[in-house]
Amino acid sequence: MKFEITPGPFQPTLESLRSFECPEWFRDAKLAFWSHWGPQCVPMFGDWYARHLYVEGHDQYRHHWRVYGHPSKIGYKDIVPLWKAEKFDPEALMDLFVNAGAKYFFGQAMHHDNFDLFDSTHNPWNAVNVGPKKDIVGLWQKAARAHNLPFGLSEHLGASFNWWAVNKLSDKSGPYAGVPYDGSDPANAGLYYAANGNPTGSSGYDFEWYTKNADFHAHWFNRIKDVIDKYQPDLLYSDGAVPFGEVGLSIVAHLYNSSANKNGVNRAVYNQKDTDPDVYTIGVLDIERGGSQKIEEYPWQCDTSVGDWFYNVKDVYKSPNEVLCTFVDIVSKNGNLVLNIPQLPDGTLDDECDYLLRRMATWMKSNSEGIFGSRPWRISGEGSSAAESGAFKESAVAWTESDFRFTTKANMLYAYQMKRCAQGSALIKAFAKGQSSRVTSVRLLGAGPVEFDQTSEGLRVNYACAENIDGPLGIAITQE
């Protein structure tokens, strides 16, 4: 089967796509916020609700049965219309995100639940027809463009076919043993699919991520091509490796050629999660809930959330300080951060998320000079504390006053002290006399020049900073 794409400089081959060059806007941007939002937020019970409500014994299965009804009678099809997004105000939310440092924005085109958040040509189960009766993607795009932000979209459809197979199972015990779940009813095939792959492996990731079903490959292509053509995203993210071989490569080529035809040169970025260097150089590697311990040769991106991906009333959120330290650590290693802020079903944010964004905004006003538009220095930092490398390895780091992360921009060096010293002092060993060029001035970001002394031990900086400020302390250093 031939997959028709927009003609242009890129062909749907690895060889052709490896000529991709990361656009400067992405390298400069550093921070995006993500609306990982959809009908699965309705129960306010966390990630993968649409799948796990069909997994006997799972917490979400028990929640669903007790609150809504047994999944043989009341299933995900009955949850979707309950998502109304009645207080969704993308302009006001975008104001919050921009103030908190956003330089690009991510919306979600669809999740594994086979529900499109736009006016889909190929899927009647979409947010214009069902639930909110709004083009969620279009509204996000309009708000992002009004702030001159590059606009990205995530697609999670590739894994949907196998992910959804559990809706055709049944309980093995109890009063509904042997009674098929509502996904087995042919009348519901539009949302649940008429048939799926092998549904064994009923929880977590213990199933084959991508199906080998060629008909679904074509369906995926048409759905993703549709959203690219409608919204011309500056960035497209796949939740996994490039899906389905040449089919997925055709989508990447279509994305890049569409951008090149519009802009004269490709400005679009494709994110995927395959760490094979022959593959990740066709775009920008995304590391989910993880990071790196070194400066990466190629720009990369971490995507994570302050809590669960979908709203969860039981969440314990990351603190503003943890988020900001993670952000600075990633930037020092040639990376960008995409941060999901979970939305309530009505489209608003809870008080804690609002507070986090406002604390980030306060830090950005004083300390972002050495972040946006910066590049890595010769070393990413110093100190014994470090985040782990790799996906799904994020954890809170116990930063100390001896931990620093470095960036550089326009002949200026920046050192970020990851934990502020209560006595107002920093010793930066990387700038020790005899091992580094002579330091001619030191400036505390947001405050001005400060006293310093460069010795064989390091650069001693004395400062006075305001109390109750989250995040690393930014120090600008000039050398002769």
Range with the poorest average pLDDT among 21-25, 140-144, 192-196, 440-444: 192-196
For the chain, report the end-to-end CA distance as a whole number of angstroms. 62
Query: What is the arithmetic mean of pLDDT over 452-470?
Result: 88
Please check the confidence at residue 191 and state whether its pLDDT lies above 60: yes
pTM for the complete prediction? 0.96
The pLDDT, as a whole number, for residue 207 is 85
Q: Compute the distance between CA of residue 31 and CA of residue 337 in angstroms, rounded to an integer.
A: 5
Give the strand pairing for 335-340 and 404-409.
unpaired
DSSP calls for 139-174: HHHHHHHHTT--EEEEE-GGGHHHHGGGGG-BBSSS
Please check the confidence at residue 193 and state whether its pLDDT lies above 60: yes
129, two tokens: 């027809």
The pLDDT, as a whole number, for residue 204 is 56
The pLDDT, as a whole number, for residue 469 is 80
Helix (H, G, I), strand (E, B) or coil at 95: helix
In sequence order, what E strands does 219-313 have?
Answer: 235-238, 269-272, 284-288, 300-305
Show the CA angle centred on residue 165, arms to residues 163 and 169, nearest 5°.
135
Q: Compute the distance between CA of residue 17 and CA of residue 260 in angstroms, rounded to an integer.
A: 13
Domains of the chain, first to last: 14-288 (3.20.20.80), 381-479 (2.60.40.1180)
155, two tokens: 């697609």
Residues 380-423: tens digit of each pLDDT: 999 999 999 999 999 999 999 999 999 999 999 999 999 999 88
Residues 49-87: tens digit of each pLDDT: 999 999 999 999 999 999 999 999 999 999 999 999 999
Amino acid letter for position 227: V
Query: What is the arithmetic mean of pLDDT over 309-328?
Result: 98
Q: Compute the distance between CA of residue 462 and CA of residue 450 in angstroms, rounded to an integer.
A: 6
Q: Is 193 left (phi over 0), alpha (psi -120 to 50) or beta?
A: left
Query: What is the arithmetic mean of pLDDT over 110-126?
Result: 98
116, two tokens: 């499109």
The pLDDT, as a whole number, for residue 139 is 98
Query: What is the arithmetic mean of pLDDT over 10-18?
Result: 97
Residues 126-177: tens digit of each pLDDT: 999 999 999 999 999 999 999 999 999 999 999 999 999 999 999 999 999 9
